[in-house]
Structure 1
């Protein structure tokens, strides 16, 4: 966010007024846009409220903004000048469309992280820089600097990457497939988007876990799907619940994250896996398996995916580079019947003409290199270390106030706050004290749950971050 230059000879209020005038003239704030309150803008810019009052007064004098009691301050409906000119009502367009915006909590988290890079981050669901194989990938790029072709790629994805994935999936996930049954995507989220848009119809009923990462994705509601819950207990979802939802609502698809489930960290019980596949084959029901965390198993023995024991082809399998190496490369994959792959590849080509060849080549080189296995071992060790730091800090700072199950893999710890607490107040107080987390209600849970992601924060900040969270929780409870 823009900040005034405190070393400039120009008064702060004038810098603020000039910045708003420029952004309004560029159309960033169209006519009618509600501007931040004087108090909020002062907090964002780190200035006195009186400075903002002067800046707004300057803009009002120019006829650029207008203020009304009870309605706040808005950009004037007409651009200044001799002849008023109408501008499109961008607010109406923004509020229209079928693709819904992110949940308010997620927008608040993103806003807070953008405004304050010093926040201790337990909210972002990605690896921190200390866990990413940046040096190894840099070495591979130096060793293999050339790419023969930089035009549009195969709609299914870079052929060498798909060939590498055939070996990778066989070795690490016990999934036997071919390159023609693999679609390269920009990550798990794009895979889910393609499935919801191309394989389902508005009004279709689908089953998702409760709580579930899927609740945080507005793409399901944007696609017009009806969501039904599958409760997650310490052994995962129960196959009988799938059968019951099918009988009652004729669900068309089941979305699962069976290994180190996001957000709970639960692993689906082995017996339930077999029963679930039996139910799916009996009902002809597709299962979408999202499997981003399995290779983070701290003991080095990742649980098998459903796809590895799927004998009838019920499972669409989704994987990603993001949670085990580098989210910035934006490389994921889907294993599906060839007809499904062709359908989704055609749709994706209409969206972007295919992914960039460069990150796909890097991913192929890394997955097939001697760097990959040592990176996994180091990643598991560091995640385990961070998990233990987090648990030790919670037990020290919040005895008898929180409860949780200890995850054996993944990036998250799912925590129940025992006293009743308001999610919104707790999040705001935590941000004020310098730490941020993901409230459980983001994932469809009741108020009073928290997801701590320990992969993003630096190890040396985890204890301090939990101390800040504990202070925020006690302040809200008091």
Structure 2
């Protein structure tokens, strides 16, 4: 007689449910037939009765069996009809596949924000509505006329947008490139996805910062990529660590966010930049530079990207509209060797046949308009103000309970709590009180770190949101 495998990673109740479903589908238990009682089946299979109860509950949830008090458990007659037929086991499909779901904390945060729209949101890494150039975009679109054919566009992205980006990158980021070396993507995240899926193979080793936004993206694990850490301090990473990882693990690529790094807000030092480029050239090692925050530099003097000093073509440069304008436009870009751009454009075309042509045209017009620079000036001023409000509230509420480094740009404040508190308990306590943040462990750090995104809440809600967080912290710290 079949028995569940106690050495399997699959739960015993799930094994039992799957086995019974298979036997029912084979007609061994016809529609309407009586199944063994929970106690008898538990004795036969050598498991606790509670395990069988869970297995039956799983089958009932799919409509395969019915249970009635005094009548036992039977195979559903109404669901199966004359012959064994039923819907697919969608729960197993949902749990399958190679692409992993978001981290549990991120799913919990998203669920809370959907269920409680009034939450003061320090978690979502985007701009608040009043920081986006809504009026500027509306002004551009008031005279908008799209005269070209509204069909699939160039696989690399709109030519006018790529031409606008050539000028933008040279003016604002000191990067000289051509439109043929630019790929338009649906934000930075699609750029990273294309790189992990098309340029790397399962089992490849890559280096990422520690902590890093990359840890919050299961796409790396979904692609079977092995991640190795580059610790981040106040000066960014130590480039010699890359050489060490290359020798030990033969890393094939390095992923960096050197300017106002997410989540720490640090900027890679000039000395480390020079050393990093030398090591990358020596090892013939590609670097993926994610640069979404540079133009938010509060003093108006953004740090140069690594790509601006790249003389040998070691760097794939990723940028986005999301952190400086509007995430809803879904406009990102990648600057890479033409062979790489062609390869990734081909892959992206298989996914979606390219982006919508209208947001691309709007983005291109905005970059070239006289409205862009005033928007950046206003954005920087507002972000600095919100950063200061957040720090002031934390200093008022928890003057001796946390530590942080004041960022000079970006959207985030990275804090270390001086007490050991479980991330999950702290998150749930803050949600109960009406606010939400991101636990630092999401980004690969040890417990006790938190990231506040001060660009997302309304200005008038920042002090109250921080106060609610601190109430939760004090409650757990007592």
Superposed pair shares fold, TM > 0.5: yes
Q: How does 1:178-193 map to 2 (within 5 A)?
A: 178-193=178-193
Query: Does structure 1 retain, via aligned residues, the 8 Å contact 2:62–2:89?
Result: no
1:81 aligns with 2:78: yes
Residue correspondence of structure 1 range 285-364 to structure 2 within 5 A: 285-364=285-364
| Structure 2 residue matching 1:229: 3-state secondary structure | strand
Query: Matched residues in 1 for 2:476 and 2:132: separation?
Result: 36
Instruction: Quote the offset at 1:69 in angstroms.
Output: 6.3
Following superposition, the deviation at residue 312 of structure 1 comes to 0.5
Query: Is the Cα contact below 8 Å between 2:260 and 2:267 reproduced in 1?
Result: yes
Q: For the Cα contact (< 8 Å) 2:208–2:227, is it kept in 1?
A: yes
Q: Does 1:136 align with 2:136?
A: yes
Q: Quick one: distance in 2 between partners of 1:80 and 1:435?
A: 48
Looking at structure 2, the residues matched to 146 and 359 of structure 1 have their Cα atoms a distance apart, in angstroms, of 11
* 1:312-346 CA distance string (max 9 Å, x none): 10000000000000000000000000000000000
Secondary structure of the 2:78 match is coil
Taking the TM superposition and a 5 Å limit, the aligned residue runs for 1:114-263 are 114-263=114-263
In the TM superposition, what whole-angstrom CA distance separates every residue of 1:272-318 from its partner, at most 9, and x where no partner exists?
00100000000000000000000000000000000000111000000
Deviations 1:114-169 (A, max 9, x none): 00000000000000001000110011011223342210000000000000000000
Deviations 1:209-238 (A, max 9, x none): 000000000000001000000000000001
Q: Deviations over 1:367-396 (max 9, x none)?
A: 110000000000000000000000000000
Which residues of 2 match residues 22-41 of structure 1 at below 5 A? Answer: none
Q: Distance in 2 between matches of 1:381 and 1:96?
A: 46
**Cα–Cα, structure 1 residues 250 and 465, in superposed 2: closer, same or farther, change >3 Å?**
same
Report what 1:469 is aligned to. Answer: 469
Tell me if the contact between 2:261 and 2:267 (Cα under 8 Å) persists in the aligned partners: yes
Deviation at 1:258, TM superposition (A): 0.2
CA distance in 2, matches of 1:198, 1:146: 33
Q: More displaced, 138-147 or 183-192? A: 138-147
- For residues 463 and 85 of structure 1, do their structure 2 counterparts lie closer, same or farther at Cα, with a shift above 3 Å needed? same
The residue number in structure 1 matching 2:39 is none
Task: Say whether residues 1:391 and 2:391 are aligned partners.
Answer: yes
Equivalent pairs counted in the alignment come to 414
Return the alpha-carbon distance in structure 2 between the equivalents of residues 401 and 85 of structure 1: 61
- Any stretches of 5+ residues in structure 1 without a counterpart? 1-31, 33-66
The alignment partner of 1:275 has SS state of helix
In 1: Cα distance, 2:434 partner to 2:451 partner: 17
CA–CA distance in 1 between the matches of 2:100 and 2:364?
A: 34
Distance change >3 Å, CA 166–CA 77, structure 1 → 2: same
Distance (Å, rounded) in 2 between the aligned partners of 1:143 and 1:315: 39
Alpha carbons 2:293, 2:410 under 8 Å: kept: yes
Q: What is aligned with 1:44?
A: none
* Secondary structure, counterpart of 1:317 in structure 2: strand
Distance, in Å, in 2 between the alignment partners of 1:147 and 1:473 is 57
What is the root-mean-square deviation in Å for CA atoms of aligned residues?
A: 1.6
2: CA distance between counterparts of 1:171 and 1:292?
16
Q: TM-score, normalised by structure 2?
A: 0.85
Question: Do 2:254 and 2:285's aligned partners in 1 also have CA atoms closer than 8 Å?
Answer: yes
Larger Rg: 2
Gaps of 5+ in 2: 1-16, 18-50, 65-75
Once the two structures are TM-superposed, the CA of residue 203 in structure 1 deviates from its matched residue by: 0.4
Tell me how far 1:81 sits from its aligned partner.
2.3
Q: Aligned residue for 2:426?
A: 426
